[in-house]
Structure 1
Amino acid sequence: MNNTKRREILTRLRDDNPHPTTELNFSTPFELLVAVTLSAQSTDVGINKATDKLFPVANTAHAIAALGEDGLKEYIKTIGLFNSKAKNVHRLSEILVEKYDGEVPESREALEALPGVGRKTANVVLNTAFGWPTIAVDTHIYRVSNRTKLAMGKTVEKVEEKLLKVVPAEFKVDVHHWLILHGRYTCVARKPRCGACIIEDLCEFKDKTEYAE
C-alpha cells in the first residue's frame, strides 16, 4: 500500500470519528491503568460492569491498596482470570503508593515494571491518559492492519513497528482507537462488513464481502 492511500484511509477514519477514545470507562489515569490491566482476555463491556462497581468504592492506588487483594476480588470476580488480575492490580497499587505517592508515572519504563503491565497496556495508558503518539496493537489492530495492508507484519510487535513508521504524525495519537473500533464493529474477524465500510475502495483485502448488516 502506498502512502497516499494510507493518508486517505486515515483521513476518512478521522472525518468519521474526530475525537476517538477507549470504550473503557475511566476518569483518571489510575482508573484507566486498572481498567486496561483487567481487560486482558475480557470484553470492555465486562470490565466496565466490574469497574462501575469498584471505582465508586476504590478508585485510587491508596484505596485499592487498603481494600486488599481479597476485597478487590469481590468486585472483579465476574471477569476472567480475576484471581491473578486482583493480585496484580493490588500489588501495582501498593507500588504506586510506595514509589509515586499514588500517581501513575508518565514513563514507559516505570509502567512496564508494574505487575500485569506489558507494552500494550503501557502504550494505552501513555496514549489515552497522557496523549503520547503510541500505538497499542491488539488483535483488532493486528487484523485490520494486515487485512487492509495498511501495515503488514507477522507479529503484533512488527505491526506496531510498521504503523509507527508509516502513519503520519498528525494521525498517530488517534490511529490506535480508529483501528480498534474499525476492527470491533466493521472489519470483524469472521465476516467483515465490507458493504458498510467507509474505506472499502481503498482497502487491499482480496476476499471482500457484500455483508453490511
Structure 2
Amino acid sequence: MKKANIEEFFARLKAQRPEPRTELEYTTAFELLIAVLLSAQATDVGVNKATAILYPIANTPQAILDMGLDTLKTYIKTIGLFNTKAVNIIKTCQILVDKYQGEVPNTREGLEELPGVGRKTANVVLNTFFGQPTMAVDTHIFRVSNRTTLAPGKTVELVEDKLIKVIPKHYIMDAHHWLILHGRYTCKARSPLCGECIVSDLCGWKERFDYGVSNPIES
C-alpha cells in the first residue's frame, strides 16, 4: 500500500473510532494481563463474563495465590484451555509476588518471562496499559494487514515489523485497536463486509469486488 494511502487509511479508521480501546474489561495492569492470558482461543465476551465474577473476589497476584489453583479453575472453567491457563496464572502470580512486589513489569523482557506470556500478550499490555508504541499482531491484524496489502507478511513477526515501519507515528498508539476492531467487525475472515468498508477504495485485495464493492475500472 502506498504511503499516502496508509495515511488516509488510518485517518478514516480514526474518524470512525476516535478513541478505540480493547473490549476486554480491566482497571489495573494486572487485571489486563490476566484478561489477555485468558483471551487466547477465547472471545472477549467470554473472558469478560469470567473476570466479572473473578475480579471482585481476587484481582491481585497475592489474592489469586491465596485462592489456589483448584478454586481459580472454578472461576474460569467456561473459558477454553482453562486448566493450562489456570496453571500459568498461578505461576505468573508467584513470580509477580516474589520478583516484582506484586506489580506487573512494564518491560518486554519482564513480561515475556511470565508463564503463558508471549510476544503478543506482552505487546498488548505494553501498548494498552503502559502506552508504549508496540503492535500486538493477532489473527485479525494478521488478516487485515495481508488482505489489504497494508503490511503483507508470511509470519506474525514479519507483519509486526512492517506495521511498525509503515504506520505513521501519530497513529501508532491506537493502530493496534483500530486494526483489531476493523478485522473483527468489517474485514471478517469468511464474509468481509467490503460493501460497507470505509477503506475499501484503498484496499489492495482484488477479491473485494466479489463482496459488494464496485470495480472502479468498470464503473
Runs of 4 or more above 3 Å deviation: none
Distance in 1, matches of 2:169 and 2:64, equals 37
| 1:180-195 matched pairs, under 5 angstroms | 180-195=180-195
Deviations 1:101-160 (A, max 9, x none): 111010100100000000000000000010001000001000000000011100111100
CA distance in 1, matches of 2:195, 2:101: 51
Question: Letter of the aligned partner of 1:15 in structure 2?
Answer: A
Q: Which residue of 2 aligns with 1:210?
A: 212
Percent pairwise identity: 63
Structure 1 gaps of 5+ residues are: none
Q: Which residue is 2:156 aligned to? A: 156
Q: What is the alpha-carbon distance in structure 2 between the residues aligned to residue 185 and residue 15 of structure 1?
A: 16
Matches within 5 A, 1:91-106: 91-106=91-106
Larger Rg over CA atoms: 2
For 1:84, the equivalent position in structure 2 comes to 84
Q: CA deviation at 1:182?
A: 0.4
How big is the alpha-carbon RMSD for the aligned residues of Structure 1 and Structure 2?
A: 0.8
Aligned partner of residue 170 in structure 1, secondary structure: coil
State how far apart, in whole Å, the 1-side matches of 2:90 and 2:48 are.
18
TM-score between both structures, scaled by the size of structure 2 = 0.95
**Hey, what's the Cα distance between the residues in 1 that align with 2:15 and 2:184?**
18
**What is the distance in 2 between the residues matched to 1:69 and 1:110?**
23
Alignment partner, residue 36 of structure 1: 36
Shift of 1:33: 0.2
1:195 is displaced (CA, Å) by 0.8
Residue identity opposite 2:212 in structure 1? E
1:183 Cα deviation (Å)?
A: 0.4
CA distance in structure 2 between the aligned counterparts of 1:139 and 1:99, rounded to whole angstroms: 32
Is the partner of 1:207 in helix, strand or coil?
helix
1:94: Cα distance to partner? Answer: 1.1
SS in 2 for 1:56: coil
Task: Compute the TM-score of the two structures, normalised by the length of structure 1.
Answer: 0.98
**SS class of match (2:150):** coil
Q: How many residues align?
A: 211
**SS, match of residue 201 in structure 1:** helix
